């Protein structure tokens, strides 16, 4: 697991996807967002059907810790719910 020093390292999607065991290059992240969009507003991110039990648990724990990881998990949740900018995908 990556150790972060507050104020020094802010994880992004690349690091989060690596932690989830997913391909974490830009093209793979964009493909994941396209494939799983849109996530319904009434579904918690960790309850989405596309996570393995281990991935769901990790996301739940990262939110519960309310640290730098919680920020990027929240950003992933927003990215899966908002209307994509097809010009950027």
Helix segments in the chain, DSSP class H: 13-19, 26-36, 53-65, 68-81
The whole domain housing 75 covers 13-81
- Summarize pLDDT for 26-65 with one digit per residue, the tens: 999 999 999 999 999 999 999 999 999 999 999 999 999 8
Residue 25, pLDDT > 80, answer: yes
Q: Is residue 44 part of a domain?
A: yes
Q: Is the pTM of this model over 0.75?
A: yes
Q: Is residue 68 part of a domain?
A: yes
Q: Is residue 2 part of a domain?
A: no
Q: Is residue 65 part of a domain?
A: yes
Q: What CATH number did the domain enclosing 54 receive?
A: 1.10.10.1130
Q: How far is CA 70 from the centre of its chain?
A: 9
Q: Is residue 26 part of a domain?
A: yes
Give the number of domains in the chain.
1
Q: Is residue 4 part of a domain?
A: no
Question: Do residues 13 and 31 touch, judged by C-beta distance below 8 A?
Answer: no
Question: Cα(77)–Cα(40) distance, rounded to whole angstroms?
Answer: 10
Question: Cα(38)–Cα(11) distance, rounded to whole angstroms?
Answer: 23
């Amino acid at each position: 697991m990556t150790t972060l020093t507050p104020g020094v390292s802010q994880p992004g999607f690349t690091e989060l996807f690596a932690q989830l065991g997913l391909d974490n290059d830009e093209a793979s992240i964009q493909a994941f967002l396209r494939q799983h969009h849109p996530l319904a507003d009434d579904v918690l991110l960790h309850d989405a059907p596309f996570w393995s039990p281990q991935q769901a648990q990790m996301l739940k724990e990262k939110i519960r810790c309310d640290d730098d990881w919680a920020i990027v998990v929240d950003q992933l949740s927003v990215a899966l719910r908002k209307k994509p900018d097809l010009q950027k995908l």
